[in-house]
Structure 1
Amino acid sequence: MSNQEQPLLRVKGLTVRYGNGCPHCIGGGRLNKNTCPECKTVWACKDVGFELYPGEILGVVGESGSGKSTMMKSLYFDFPVTKGEAYLGNYKDGKEDIFHQNLQQKKYIRNHIMGMVYQNPVLGLRMDYSSAGNIAEKLIASGHREFQGMTDRALMLLKAVEILPERMKEPPKNFSGGMQQRVQISKALANNPAVLLLDEVTTGLDLSVQAKVLDLIRKIRQEFNISILLVSHDLAVIRMLADRTIVMLDGQIIERGLTDQILDDPQHSYTQQLVHSLL
């Protein structure tokens, strides 16, 4: 990856606040972890900024409550942002902040440029629809109407995530957790998104199933040349997949760099603690 390449996604000053804030916290006063001691406002993300480059996997690590999932869901417009900007290189030439687009434009971005895979498949799938129907839903949302074309696309995507063709008419509620995640990945890929957001996709899966899902993510990156933002609290997952990594604590990025560099020579005391707790 050359440094001359333009980032596909640029995020600046992303802040998500639960509560109105007060002169203490808005004025930059000291927080208790990510909560204002005066007014109890929670700063779930505070001034988060990063770049994601074409074809890159960017890892995001941190403990529960560090702001990782809030950041991901904000990028997919599930949560409103308090302030901040984000630009996609393939949306309006990367010149217009996606957070401040109207609802119709945000739907366009969700349906054409980004795919999201949630930690809990219930958030990303309709459990009573067939697996193929889940993929068709995403295709219809972006304007596809041709039945055979959608059926062929669903078949191809389910095959890519190793779901047998004879099971494409089955609803995800019949499947194991690992299979549900694979259906969710195929749905997220339906419209060839440029950016895939993966939020703790291996959490709660057996090790052998985890390994399959990780292999699948690697294969998808190669086949589709997709850029991936990968949230995980599992450093082994991050080491295996991520080119670069950012470390979050209490809603802020405290360290960033090449993955090997961060895991082999962490600079921040929290990252050192995180790495050493797994050695």
Structure 2
Amino acid sequence: MKDFEQPVLSVKSINKQFGSGCENCSGSKGERLLKNYCPVCGTVYACRDITFELFEGEILGVVGESGSGKSTLMECLYFDLEVSSGEGYISSYKGGAANVFAESSQQKRYIRNHRMGKVYQNPLMSLKMNFSSIGNIAEKLISAGNRNVGKMEARGKELLEHVNIPIYRMKEAPKNFSGGMQQRVQIAKALSNNPPILLLDEVTTGLDLSVQASVLDLIKTIQRELMITVVIVSHDLGVIRMLADRTMVMLDGRIIEQGLTDQILEDPQHSYTQQLVQSLL
């Protein structure tokens, strides 16, 4: 019988710093930092003791201003960056018993290709702009060990239809597409291997409002249909309000408040969260 109480993703005390630290900031618990920056040695503490759990079919929103550490957190979760310290466990990988951050680079590639998908704020981080759209999806499938051209083409067509990209444009390069369509191709690519966890980093930033709405609606529809577990990062509390079941608020590399999204929006406790909510009204 499936254990629905086991978290799909469990993260414990992630820390990420840029710089080696010094006597002024190491072990000081931040008392001598300017926000998350050491004025003596220049070390930036981008993520500080980040801990959370994520359950099946749940959408977790991460909100905060630029420089709060939310995108760094996403880069650590997808192994774009190495964590400085911390643990992470995925229930569908080695029974949730292996700290994924301590695994080999080969195993991390396996997790990226089979257990996670990521949609970046900038499509250039994920898509090869001169490849065809279906070729971009095939690239992810090949990385996961697929070799059957017919099956990969069928899967690519299915996904592009799912994200409302016309099939007659499947062999067109993403460089010819609008920003919203590029994000849709990214989403299709991220979903190609049916990952249980989807990471979305500022996916609507820079898009027109009407395009934002259609991309968000697509994400919500896909998440409900496939029961994917999602982490979505945004500086826009309106995006979080629309999508997230629970919300974490980050400031200066730390989680300063977390809870049910409705609770965060209706009764924020931290002064910074109160300012965020006030700006939404």
| Maintained 8 Å contact 2:4/2:56 | no
* Deviation digits for residues 176-198 of structure 1 (CA, Å, limit 9, x no counterpart): 00000000000000000000000
Match of 2:97 in 1: 95
| Maintained 8 Å contact 2:238/2:280 | no
- 1:23 Cα shift? 2.5
TM-score scaled to structure 1, two decimals?
Answer: 0.98
- 1:223 Cα shift? 1.3
- 1:210 Cα shift? 0.6
Match of 1:23 in 2: 23
Match of 2:145 in 1: 143
Q: Give the whole-Å Cα distance in 2 for the aligned partners of 1:4 and 1:185.
A: 26
* Deviation digits for residues 214-261 of structure 1 (CA, Å, limit 9, x no counterpart): 110011111111000000111111111100000000000000000000
Q: Pick from 202, 205, 227 the counterpart of residue 203 of structure 1.
A: 205
- 1:4 Cα shift? 6.4
Q: Give the whole-Å Cα distance in 2 for the aligned partners of 1:213 and 1:278.
A: 20
Structure 2, unpaired ranges of 5+: none
Correspondences of 1:9-158 after superposition (within 5 Å): 9-28=9-28, 29-30=30-31, 31-158=33-160
Match of 1:174 in 2: 176
Correspondences of 1:180-259 after superposition (within 5 Å): 180-259=182-261
Q: Percent identity?
A: 65
Q: Give the whole-Å Cα distance in 2 for the aligned partners of 1:26 and 1:92.
A: 34
Q: Give the whole-Å Cα distance in 2 for the aligned partners of 1:15 and 1:24.
A: 18
- 1:26 Cα shift? 1.6
Q: Structure 1: which amino acid aligns with 2:64?
A: G
Structure 1, unpaired ranges of 5+: none
Aligned-partner SS, 2:168: helix
Q: Give the whole-Å Cα distance in 2 for the aligned partners of 1:143 and 1:19.
A: 37
How many residue pairs match? The answer is 277
- 1:94 Cα shift? 0.6
Match of 1:162 in 2: 164
Aligned-partner SS, 1:26: coil
Aligned-partner SS, 1:84: strand
- 1:274 Cα shift? 1.0
* Deviation digits for residues 111-170 of structure 1 (CA, Å, limit 9, x no counterpart): 000000000000010101000000000000001000110000000000000000000000
Aligned-partner SS, 2:280: coil
Q: Give the whole-Å Cα distance in 2 for the aligned partners of 1:127 and 1:148.
A: 23
RMSD: 1.1
* Deviation digits for residues 52-87 of structure 1 (CA, Å, limit 9, x no counterpart): 110000000000000000000111000111111110
Q: Structure 2: which amino acid aligns with 1:19?
A: G
Q: Give the whole-Å Cα distance in 1 for the aligned partners of 2:117 and 2:43.
A: 31
- 1:25 Cα shift? 1.6
Runs of 4+ in 1 over 6 A off after TM superposition: none
